[in-house]
């Protein structure tokens, strides 16, 4: 009986807790938001443009460093939000409860870069001024068409207090690094709450 009692005392149940963080991906239409997500999730790049209708939601598990430097598994619930004006009325529920944001522009379209400020202002309007964010200049594979120079992007990055990445959804350049960065920033932000 003592052996059974001793073994019962050694049994310790640890509650398994999944850390799931909502990340919104926002920016003008056709900047490559869906293609970035497609690349990150390991799917094939699509050359034809298919606009997102409303929102696409994907859950992806990643491992990032916590505040103690230990590897921690988290899940990103990534909300790929349509950039077309007809969906603006849906932004409030889509932005609601976001833990982090990815602001995307197309390096070949100056207007998409200028509009990052509008997208950020909308997020702030919906109470997201304090959430971690990253700034993404996508389509760097189109080198000959690039219009946004690095100093401009770095200035906006500092203004928004957002780490900056240049990415290519086509080649995969810096795509994973960007998602891991927003995951890490979000985890660290939540651990400080």
Q: What is the pLDDT of residues 123-151, one digit of tens each?
A: 999 999 999 999 999 999 999 999 999 99
Range of the domain at 99: 14-192
Q: Is residue 1 part of a domain?
A: no
* Residue 46 φ then ψ, to 5°: -105, 125
Which range, of 36-40, 150-154, 162-166, averages the lowest pLDDT? 36-40
Cα(176)–Cα(156) distance, rounded to whole angstroms? 22
CA 78 from chain centre, in angstroms, equals: 7
pLDDT value of residue 192? 87
Q: Do 78 and 59 contact (CB within 8 A), yes or no?
A: yes
25-56: b (≥16 Cβ within 10 Å) or e? bbbbebbbbbbbbbbbeeeeeeeeeeebeebb
Q: Is residue 184 part of a domain?
A: yes
CATH of the domain at 104: 3.40.50.300
Structure tokens at 124: 């702030």
pLDDT higher than 80, residue 52: no
User: What letter would DSSP give residue 45?
Assistant: P
What are the percentages of helix, strand and coil residues in the chain, rounded to 5? 40, 25, 40
Q: Is residue 9 part of a domain?
A: no
Condensed to tens digits (0 to 9), the pLDDT of residues 94-125 reads 999 999 999 999 999 999 999 999 999 999 99
Q: Is residue 121 part of a domain?
A: yes
Residue with tokens 């870069």: 113
Find, among 68, 62, 79, the residue nearest to 18 by Cα.
62
């Amino acid at each position: 009986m003592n052996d059974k009692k001793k073994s019962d005392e050694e049994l310790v149940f640890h509650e398994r807790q999944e850390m799931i963080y909502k990340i919104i991906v926002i920016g003008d239409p056709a900047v490559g938001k869906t293609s970035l997500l497609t690349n990150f999730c390991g799917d094939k790049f699509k050359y034809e443009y298919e606009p997102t209708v409303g929102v696409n939601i994907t859950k992806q598990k990643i491992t990032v460093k916590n505040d103690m430097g230990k590897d921690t598994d988290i899940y990103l619930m990534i909300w790929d939000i349509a950039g077309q004006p007809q969906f603006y009325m849906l932004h409030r529920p889509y932005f609601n409860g976001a833990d982090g944001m990815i602001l995307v522009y197309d390096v070949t379209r100056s207007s998409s870069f200028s509009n990052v400020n509008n997208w950020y202002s909308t997020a702030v309007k919906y109470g997201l001024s304090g959430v971690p964010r990253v700034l993404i200049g996508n389509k760097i594979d189109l080198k000959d068409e690039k219009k946004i120079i690095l100093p401009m992007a770095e200035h906006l990055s500092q203004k928004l207090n957002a780490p900056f990445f240049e990415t290519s959804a086509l080649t995969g350049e810096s795509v994973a690094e960007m998602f891991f960065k927003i995951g890490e920033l979000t985890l660290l932000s939540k651990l400080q709450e």
